[in-house]
Amino acid sequence: MPNPNPDKLNEDLNTAKQVDLINVGALTREQLTPAAAAAPRGQDHAPTDKADHDEHDGHSHDGHDHGPVGERPYLWPAVSLVLLLAGIALDYFDVPFFAGLVRPIWYGVAFLLVGWKVLRAAVLSVPSGNIFNEFLLMSLATLGAFAIGEYPEGVAVMLFYTVGELFQDAAVNRAKRSIRALLEIQATEVTVVREGRPLVIEPQQVQVGDVMEVKPGEKVALDGTLNGPAASFNTAALTGESAPQTKQTGETVLAGMINLESLVQVTVTAAFKDTKLSKILAMVQDAVGRKAKTQQFITKFAKVYTPIVVVLAVLLVLVPFFVVDDYVFRDWLYRALVFLVISCPCALVISIPLGYFGGIGAASKNGILFKGSNFLDVLREIDTVVMDKTGTLTEGVFAVRQVVPAPGTETPELLRLAGALETKSTHPIAKAVVKHAADAAQGVPVESVQEIAGHGLRGRVDGHDVLAGNTKLLRKFDVAYPPEVDEVVDSIVVVAVDGQYAGHLTVADAPKADAVQAVRELKADGITKLVMLSGDKDSIVQRVAAELGITEAHGGLLPEDKARYVQQYLDAGHKLAFVGDGVNDAPVVALANVGIAMGGLGSDATIETADVVIQTDHPSKIATARRIARATHRVVWQNIWLAFIVKGVVLALGAGGLATMWEAVFADVGVALLAILNAVRIQRMKF
């Protein structure tokens, strides 16, 4: 397994998740380098030279460069708008100095501030043979307006085009950060014992067979086996589960785990590039790289629409020469240029992003962040939802579920003694017991506390010898307990007082309040397959699945196991969404058709990798997101058909000489306004 390259990981993520208006209908290759803009379709991300790579990186991370200064994408459209409005005012009042060359230069500057990249893309696409694209049509239409002296219209058309792209950029630019946070999990240095002395080196320099020293609170740098006594480790980075694991001598310890106790020694069994954690990072990189880039409607439409419109405009100039007696070239050229301005797909281009923008805005109001409009489309089409357990369907916080005192022991007394002893531990299960005991454990004298690794606590509590831990602790001290205690599914704290079994407490992660509702709504919404995958032990996973009404569940899984299951579902033809929250979920979040992260408490890496983020941590929002996606789809296609119909009518009028340049622009603006109102309607819907 190769060692993941941070720069490559970021580049692949940007390539796979590049949303911008490529997905909703404006400058479909605005974010690419000139070389990529000139490449044939399907090769948008072909390798470029170093200069182009640098430029691509700049766009990827900072948004589009809509003018001479890419760091301020709104500045030059704003300047262009001011110049346009000022020019219209100067025209209206017939200001003397605004005559001669001043007028075209004035509007030319306003035009180039927003249109130079479109013109450049149109020119660069010629050598590749990709001539008939939206860039060419936009360029011909606006330059045609300038050719017949309709400067304000040419500027307005290009400005409107650019503003539409900025609307979409504003919705998704903040979701285009890299997932470098994932790499921070890896330790940057490791202490190895060589020739009897500790030596601090980089993990890449450690050899299989070396002995590492891991201090309390320190991350394990490489996979290995534990030397010496038992020790507890926080395994959340790999399993996503909050319960620490106790490792015995000779058991496997994985990179990314955190040592919770005293200094331990680990014999290295895998090189740095072969550790489980490196494999997780590589899986994210590979899965992101397999994300297909969506080719949206406007790009396909432009391939057919653009050459037809250009040919019709040429014919509109030439054919009348043979059939009209009083043919005047200038008049028919004017009609052809008006025809091109009318045919400019501005209304269509703006109606699509505004529809998706409305959907993204509606989702945001409901606590859901879509990182791109294409994910609205894909989420609408899924038939399978795979979910993690801890932190996704459950709270991710341990709590005492049941207190079962032994005969002759009162519940308050059991809680008082157990809670007081557990105050001496920092273990999450111990904290859950202390929280449940509340005031009963306060002020109780505790002394001679001994923590027995992998077993629990022993101490003197209010004059009694008390044991609190797992069943191994009681067996160690020859304390008999009922056999049914071994059959308890949840995590358990057994308690013995003065050598006698006193009862037990079950500790578990409770389902979220809306988890059952989430499952019910997804089933009602047409999801045919619901699956739970978890790193928790299988018995607990099956119990939680039964409580929630999920028929397929698998527990005891590492990240690669989850990825294997997801890949099997994808290979079987399912369109799949994966919902998770932990770092360990990042690979499968990236692998799924739609990755959904719980954003309130979820890990940064998973949130960065995900396509959709549930900011409120409520799983019921998944069904809400699907309803928003369907509503957005309806509105977008309403806008598309509106633009088609109006465009067709005005094109016919323009060809017949019945529509002027201003009427054409007015028709476009009118359609756009209707599209805006329709898009705003999405945000007012109740989901």
Q: Are 170 and 2 in contact (CB under 8 A)?
A: no
Strands 576-580 vs 594-598: parallel, antiparallel or unpaired? parallel
Q: Which two tokens stand for residue 218?
A: 């320190």
Question: In the β-sheet with 384-387, what is the strand arrangement from edge to edge?
Answer: 368-370, 612-614, 594-598, 576-580, 384-387, 529-533, 552-554
**Angle of CA points 258, 261, 263, to nearest 5°:** 90
Query: Cα separation of 388 and 563, whole Å?
Result: 12
Query: Cα separation of 229 and 581, whole Å?
Result: 33
Q: How far is the CA of 267 from the CAs of 219, 228, 486, 666, in angstroms?
A: 15, 11, 33, 75
Q: Are 191 and 109 in contact (CB under 8 A)?
A: no
Query: Cα separation of 334 and 661, whole Å?
Result: 9
Query: Cα separation of 135 and 118, whole Å?
Result: 6
DSSP single-letter state for residue 448: E
Backbone phi, psi, residue 85, to 5°: -65, -40
Strands 500-511 vs 456-461: parallel, antiparallel or unpaired? unpaired
Q: Are 226 and 248 in contact (CB under 8 A)?
A: yes
Q: Which two tokens stand for residue 100?
A: 């001669």
Provide the angle, in degrees to the nearest 10, between the axes of the packed helices 373-381 and 151-172: 60
Strand partners, 193: 198, 211
Query: Cα separation of 613 and 363, whole Å?
Result: 10
Query: Cα separation of 468 and 481, whole Å?
Result: 13
User: Which residue type occupies 532?
Assistant: M
Q: Where are the alpha helices (DSSP H) in 525-620?
A: 538-548, 559-571, 586-591, 604-609
Strand partners, 559: none
Give the torsion sign (CA, 78, 84, 85, 87): positive
- Among candidate residues 210, 388, 617, 668, the one labeled active-site is 388
Query: Cα separation of 195 and 198, whole Å?
Result: 8
Backbone phi, psi, residue 656, to 5°: -90, 5
Please say if 388 is a catalytic residue. Answer: yes
Q: Which two tokens stand for residue 59?
A: 């766009």
Backbone phi, psi, residue 465, to 5°: -80, 120
* Closest of 601, 565, 564, 563 to residue 582, by C-alpha: 601
Backbone phi, psi, residue 219, to 5°: -80, 140
Q: Are 611 and 375 in contact (CB under 8 A)?
A: yes
Residue found by looking up tokens 């045609």 in the block: 144
Question: What is the SS3 string spanning 331-382?
Answer: HHHHHHHHHHHHHCCHHHHHHHHHHHHHHHHHHHHCCEEECCHHHHHHHHHC
Which letter, b or e, does each residue of 574-594 get, where b requires 16 or more Cβ atoms within 10 Å of its Cβ?
bbbbbbbbbbbbbbbbbbbbb
Q: How far is the CA of 481 from the CAs of 290, 454, 475, in angstroms?
A: 54, 19, 9
Strand partners, 504: 404, 494
Q: Are 666 and 672 in contact (CB under 8 A)?
A: no
Secondary structure of residue 558 in the 3-state scheme:
coil
DSSP single-letter state for residue 220: P
Query: Cα separation of 76 and 71, whole Å?
Result: 11
Could you give the residue numbers annotated as active site? Answer: 388
